[in-house]
Amino acid sequence: MTRSQSLTSLTVKELIDRFAAIGIAQDEALLDNETAKFNKPYREKIAIEIELRDRPGDQRHHLMALYEHPNVQVRLNAARATRAIDVKRARAQLEAIASSRHFPQAGYAGMALLAMDDGTFKLDSHLPPRK
């Protein structure tokens, strides 16, 4: 299925729910030490970010609702996906995850913070340009 066939027909809520499900699957893969299984949904996660970004008004702000999700990987994914639209709130979420000592996500959050601080991270550099 192409992006236009699958994601464009979904509501924002359905996209957010799918984004959360990907985070949960990634967390389970991490716990089982299955790197390939962790990486497999990456493209779909990015496709969801792109779909939300490209909708009128940049709908990625809805991902911030996941900052309260019980799963730390879901929160980490949401914080990383929303840095470009609310860097202050995303940073606070990353700092909370980093200080939680819930590894490996705490380490990933710490690396995201370092990339923000040293200029390595460029807003939306992981996404293709808008249409």
- Domain ranges within the chain, ordered by starting residue: 3-118
Instruction: Check pLDDT > 80 for residue 68.
Output: yes
Match 């590894």 to its residue by tokens: 103
**pLDDT recorded at residue 50:** 96
Does the pTM surpass 0.95? The reply is: no
Name the CATH topology of 3-118.
Answer: 1.25.40
| Residue-wise pLDDT tens digits, 14-50 | 999 999 999 999 999 999 999 999 999 999 999 999 9
| Residue-wise pLDDT tens digits, 85-101 | 999 999 999 999 999 99
| Residue-wise pLDDT tens digits, 7-24 | 999 999 999 999 999 999
